[in-house]
A and B are shown apart, each in its own frame.
Chain A
Amino acid sequence: MGNFKNLLFASALAVILPLQAVDASEIRVGFTADALTLDPANHRNRETETIIRNLYDGILTRDADMKIVPEIAESFTQTSPTTFEFVIRKGIKFHDGSDLTAEDVKFTLDRLTVEGAMGDGQTSPRKSLLGPLKSTAVEGNKVIVTLSEPWPILPAMLPVQEVVSKAFVEKVGTAGLATQVNGNGPFKLTEWRKGDSIIMERFDGYYGGATDIPPVGKACVDRVIFKVIPETASRVAALLSGDVDIINELPPFSIAQVKSNPNTEVMTVNGTRSFFIALNNKGKVFGDIKVRQAVAYALDKKLIIDRILGGNAVSIDGILSPAAFGASKLPAHDYDPQKAKALLAEAGYPDGIDVVIDTEGAYKDTVQAIASVLAKSGIRAKVEVSESAILKAKWDPKDENPKGDMYFTSWGNGSLDPYDIFLPTHRSGDRGNSAHYANPELDKLLDQASSELDTAKRAGLYNKAEAIINADLPYVYLWVPQDIYGVSKRVKGWKPSADSRINLHDACVE
């Protein structure tokens, strides 16, 4: 009987206790994917990065305008074409209370860039993100980074590398770091329920974060939960029912639903992913610049942006997002079906052309709309839907004899530096050059820009390069969509960020 009483008492407590726990302020994010690992050096995945970035800080970070500012570093300078100096801020603590030193920063960079240094003889899959980083050295509270060749975009790549504790990594090893966190970010790890959620609580010893991004100080909420909800409709349902406070990747067709709910709102931010249609420049039809121009004039971009994307995209006339370094105002190919028809006739196709346009399932609606607009100018495009891995293989830049006609695709540019988008998509034979475009003059310009240290000159080189592709049209450049988030009205102080990070340091709840 006594046992039974105890059981009753325990059950009663169990009913009461959780209610108290709810009083803690908490933000829940309905997120598309789980983290693959919690080791900042052992992944190449944007969603993982978004989650980890709340647990760990970087040497540098970006403010709301995507300007690069010091975070764990107090300041940084480029002392020669191939050396950078980072002064490490004092008084930063790891979650276990130990001090963060320049040695930890050096250890972090070495672990990312030295072959076999990640642990267990492995090399970090993020090595290539730090390009020609050759060596690091510590002088007092400074870390000196030496490059093997001039590489001006090092600062742009540092916000996505997080600083780890040398002592902790040596203690738990690479295997341990996959699931354990001794970070320096605003939140510390409470529990990772794999595939389900990642739970974090406020770190009270936080140094406050980047001084250039107010408010500086501890995180506002007690607890943060990233709940993994991969299915779009379910994610929207979770927001509407109040199960979560923020969701990412809100589809345009759910905007009205979220807006009409009294407790939720829609927030957008200009994204960093450029959408375009690759034209097979090695093919018979699109090898002719007149046909490529015809496609550009035949496409009513404004109509598609307004009707299909709900107005949530910015039109582009080159590869770069308007927010990117080196972007400039380019001549637009405004919708002109007569001109498109005339160009096709000049190219020897007075009756128009029949082509196939490849796309992934996620963009089927958009591409069907594009196809129906193109048809008005005699470009009869048949939409073929495939899985992305299959399309990448079909449009492999190394393929000497590519079979496709048109390919609706995109390239992300989280660093907002042309180096990461312009080169791979446009340099001859480079890994994202699905259009199979080859222009030695452009290659030369791009290579020059990669090592030009003078910022203004470098921007000038990219301006020139964009003018070339705007005239030559290896691709039809479409738009940069906005990232759309659904947000509960009880969340204050949080705004979506162009680099798709969800930083909850400043977010509060009512």
Chain B
Amino acid sequence: MGRFLERLLQLIPVLLGVSLIVFLMLALTPGDPVEIMIGDQNMTAEQEALLRSDLGLDRPLPERFLNFLGNAVQGDFGTSYFHRRPVSEVISERLPATIELSLVAMLIALATAIPLGVAAAIHKNTIIDRIATVGSLFGVSLPGFWFGILLLMLFAVHLRLLPVSGRIGFESEVPSVTGFLLIDTLLQGRFSAFLDALKHILLPAITLGLPMTAILTRVTRTAMLEVMRQDYVAFAEAKGISRRRILFRHALKNALIPTVSVAAIETGSLLGGNMIVETVFGWPGLGRLVVESIFVRNYPLVQAAVLLYAVTYVLMNFVADILYTVLNPRVKL
């Protein structure tokens, strides 16, 4: 428990550092939100100054940073310049879509990578192994936006099996309970709406999960090979235990330790991937909102979102550590 608290306390300097870096990066990047907001219009200098002071951009940098910190501690992340609403409100509207997409992507990745990795290890140096290793090399190297558009062209335009963009069709509308459409639709017994939501999430989740699938396949394969060389496996074989039992009861359990912890850490990379995938598939999540906000220099929103990313990343690392100790009692936190 003490260890746990210590880890949580470590978050504080990390978040402070991240806040400062993001604030400085935004402040030092050329570009002016007021200019962007006014766009191509005629405007007098006084009117421009009024707008600038409205947004608090006429204040010196240190003051702006301290204001941000002071308010952030109280849970107030300011007002989005462009939405003209509280940042926390704008972000929380988009967050469920991103979390749902990330979870499904992770599920797909785990469900594909573990069997694939195991199969590659068992059939080492066979055609199955080659397909898995070469395939995962492709998976890591393919740019997400390109792969996504390929999937779109094939499944949405040519085969017309899946929709091009969005989270759910108009007809499948369900009242929000959890914010996760796959769960909400089931809770309300709307099976056709569930299928619709599933169809919408499939392509973006596959695209998002692809690099993770590739990495996890390789990790599982390596770990499995490693474990299969251990004495206890040889001993089990000598005892005459069936190969199936050795593989799944003895070997896989240990081989999964690195897989699970890498998966937890890789969740952080899903956050980055979200920005691209959400843009390609018109997914109404946080990633796309952040991309749009960076382009128009919507400082408060970018700051809050990056903080959120940092917290998630640190927490997922923490979860990885905990999982590691749970799965492998020899290691203590």
Contacts and interface: CB of A to CB of B under 8 A. Distances in A.
A354 interface: no
A230 to B, nearest CB: 6
A243 B163 contact: yes
Interface stretch (B28-36, B108-116, B233-241, B316-324): B28-36
A122 B284 CA distance: 29
Interface string A51-76: 00000000000000000000000000
A84 B169 CA distance: 47
A193 interface: yes
B29 A194 contact: no
Contacts of A191: 173
B135 interface: no
A195 B42 contact: no
Given A45-B82, A231-B279, A421 B40 contact: yes
Interface in B40-83: 40-44, 47-48, 50-51, 54, 82-83
A497 interface: no
B35 A392 contact: yes
Given A43-B82, A230-B288, A238 B40 contact: no
B190 interface: yes
B84 A36 contact: yes
A390 B173 contact: no
A414 B193 CA distance: 41
A14 B94 contact: no
A351 B9 CA distance: 66
B182 interface: no
Nearest to A419: B42
Contact of A420 (B42, B193, B282): B42
Contact of B282 (A227, A412, A423): A227
Nearest to B45: A431
Contacts of A387: 31, 295
B164 A238 contact: yes
B232 interface: no
A392 B32 contact: yes
A389 B265 CA distance: 34
Contacts of A302: none
Most buried by A among B36, B84, B160, B295: B84
Contacts of B202: none
A33 B82 CA distance: 13
A443 B170 CA distance: 54
Contacts of A225: 170
A127 B47 contact: yes
B84 A37 contact: yes
Interface string A185-196: 000000101111
Interface residues of B, number: 60
A465 to B, nearest CB: 15
A413 B40 contact: yes
B189 A241 contact: no
B170 A199 contact: yes
Nearest to B173: A191
Contact of B165 (A7, A125, A234, A419): A234
Contact of B284 (A11, A228, A237): A228
A409 to B, nearest CB: 10
Contact of A389 (B29, B93, B193): B29
A393 B48 contact: no
A419 B42 CA distance: 7
Contact of B280 (A10, A231, A243, A424): A231
Interface in B110-158: 145, 149, 152-153, 156-157
B284 A193 contact: yes
A262 interface: no
Interface in A106-143: 115, 122-123, 125, 127-129, 131
A218 B258 CA distance: 64
B297 interface: yes
Given A14-B189, A237-B157, A421-B40, A389 B282 contact: no
Interface stretch (A15-23, A326-334, A453-461): A15-23
Contacts of A308: none
A123 B50 contact: yes
B171 A123 contact: no
Contact of B39 (A197, A412, A430): A412
A128 B31 contact: no
B38 interface: yes
B84 A43 contact: yes
Interface string A226-255: 011111011001101111000000000000
A44 interface: yes
Contacts of B170: 21, 26, 197, 199, 223, 225
Nearest to A450: B42
A364 interface: no
A175 interface: yes
B54 A123 contact: yes
Nearest 8 A/B pairs, CB to CB: A389-B31, A195-B284, A393-B30, A18-B171, A196-B284, A412-B40, A238-B164, A128-B47
18 contacts: A14-B192, A15-B191, A34-B284, A39-B84, A43-B82, A128-B51, A194-B284, A196-B282, A197-B166, A230-B288, A234-B149, A234-B164, A237-B157, A390-B29, A411-B40, A412-B39, A420-B40, A424-B41
Interface of A: 7, 10-11, 14-15, 17-18, 21-22, 26, 30, 33-34, 36-37, 39, 42-46, 115, 122-123, 125, 127-129, 131, 175, 178, 191, 193-197, 199, 223, 225, 227-231, 233-234, 237-238, 240-243, 273, 387-390, 392-394, 411-414, 419-421, 423-424, 430-432
Given A128-B51, A196-B284, A231-B281, 7 more contacts: A127-B47, A193-B284, A195-B288, A241-B164, A393-B30, A420-B41, A420-B42
Interface of B: 29-32, 35-44, 47-48, 50-51, 54, 82-85, 93-94, 97, 145, 149, 152-153, 156-157, 160, 163-167, 169-173, 189-193, 279-282, 284-285, 288-289, 292, 295-297
